[in-house]
Structure 1
Amino acid sequence: MDFVSDSVIARVRSHLLAAIGDEEPTPFSVTFLGLESLDVLTFFPRRDEFARFVTLGCSRYPMSDPSEMIADATRGPRAELILVTRVFDGIDKDFLRNLAKLAATPSVEGVVLREDLLLDLGEPLWAGAPFTAVLLGRSDIEDLELPEPADPVQFLDVVPITGTEAAWVRLRGAEALRDAWTEAGIDVRDPSRSAVTL
């Protein structure tokens, strides 16, 4: 089995199933031109009130800085994205495809996914949503260690944010926005939440 593709994805999937405690997620597969397929696994609420949407395929290869002349096929950060939210009416193919687009940014745009990274979508995350960007953070799923010399796979939390909140991140930083959410008592896992007043 090819370690840099099939075995990594199999390990990630097993790790996710064990961490989330659900053996039967609903898969949604997307293929972008020139790229291998990406899946978004939907874990509907079982142990709590939240649905979990997790990408599978981003970690197939390590992410690399586009300025590097030669990309390392083994070493380098790897990541998958997870969005945790209450169930809402906008869960459809367009929403799942937008999550897959975010996971494809390392391959398409040379972006290295990491904590505190702001990603602009240029459109609502789902139909009618006020959220046109996302902020990445550390999720509660532990890193998956891979055999040496590969780096572990990180699981990054995806928090939908408004254009105003995105501007706040650019001006003040990600932690300042999180502090503002805490002070305002805003639940970022509520898809109907209002934007924080900045």
Structure 2
Amino acid sequence: MSDVLELVEARLRTALGAPDARAAVTFLGTDRIEVLRFADDGVVRYATLGMSAQPMSDPTAVVADPLRGPRAELVLTVRGGRADTDKVLRPLAVLAASPQVEGVIVAPGASLDVGDPLWPGAPFTSVLVAEPGGLVEDLELDEPLDPVRFLPLLPMTPNEAAWKRVHGADALQERWLRHGTDLRDPLRSGVPLDD
């Protein structure tokens, strides 16, 4: 499936330019996950590369289909220079490996939690998976392979994550919008949740 990853990297380069850094992480029993860093005009984007090599499979399925199933990579966007966000590489790789390790399907509306700050001093330990298609277009693959979707990640404070579990992803995103929350600010405080 290295040809899939070559196509994915080409799509990322077309959408985001050439990466200025990359790091690889391998977890026991999983394929290698790379995280590419793209810096442009005060904004830093981190994109995983490797999650889409295998399709995500239903954890209740008796046998995983080696070809069919959703494929995705993760993209995180933050404002540069405000925090040591480059330390997010390992947490991002952990999230990208979760379909292989935990048998989960990562899809829009899901919450992913790493249990620790995403980077030193970060008020976030989890992310909300947003809808794809805005920054990086889906990558169509030859049949019978599903397309690769590039899923944006929106960092959440622990209180936002708890509120989202009760009220849902759409309600949290609407609240962020209503309060003008800068979701790219790596040091932002949580959105008001009691009004």
TM-score, normalised relative to structure 1:
0.93
- Structure 1 Cα separation of the partners of residues 169 and 83 of structure 2: 28
2:125 is paired with a residue whose SS is strand
What does the per-residue CA deviation read over 1:125-164, in whole Å, with 9 as the maximum and x for residues that have no partner?
Answer: 1111110110001242110000001000000001110110
- Structure 2 Cα separation of the partners of residues 147 and 98 of structure 1: 31
Deviation at 1:23, TM superposition (A): 2.4
Match of 1:99 among 92, 108, 116: 92
- Structure 2 Cα separation of the partners of residues 24 and 112 of structure 1: 27
Asked whether the 8 Å contact 2:19–2:39 carries over to 1, the reply is no
**Does 2:7 match 1:11?**
yes
Which residue matches 1:90? 84
| Gap change, CA 1:24 and 1:95, over 3 Å in 2 | closer
**Does 2:121 match 1:125?**
no
Stretches of structure 1 that go unaligned for 5 or more consecutive residues are none
Deviation at 1:111, TM superposition (A): 0.9
What does the per-residue CA deviation read over 1:71-128, in whole Å, with 9 as the maximum and x for residues that have no partner?
Answer: 1111100000000110133233x42101110101000111101001011111111111
Q: Which amino acid aligns with 1:179?
A: E
1:131 is paired with a residue whose SS is coil
Q: Which amino acid aligns with 1:159?
A: L
Count of aligned residue pairs for this structure pair: 190
What is the alpha-carbon root mean square deviation over aligned residues?
A: 1.1
Deviation at 1:183, TM superposition (A): 1.1
What does the per-residue CA deviation read over 1:11-48, in whole Å, with 9 as the maximum and x for residues that have no partner?
Answer: 0000110111x124311110111112100000011xx4
**Does 2:77 match 1:77?**
no
**Does 2:128 match 1:135?**
yes
- Structure 2 Cα separation of the partners of residues 23 and 195 of structure 1: 33
Match of 2:148 among 127, 150, 153: 153
1:82 is paired with a residue whose SS is strand
Deviation at 1:55, TM superposition (A): 0.1
- Structure 2 Cα separation of the partners of residues 130 and 158 of structure 1: 15
Q: Which amino acid aligns with 1:90?
A: D
Q: Which amino acid aligns with 1:171?
A: V
Q: Which amino acid aligns with 1:55?
A: T
Match of 1:60 among 53, 62, 69: 53
Moved over 6 A (4+): none
1:147 is paired with a residue whose SS is coil
Which residue matches 1:191? 186
Q: Which amino acid aligns with 1:188?
A: L
| Gap change, CA 1:132 and 1:6, over 3 Å in 2 | same
- Percent identical: 49
- Structure 2 Cα separation of the partners of residues 127 and 172 of structure 1: 29
**Does 2:104 match 1:111?**
yes
Asked whether the 8 Å contact 2:115–2:125 carries over to 1, the reply is yes
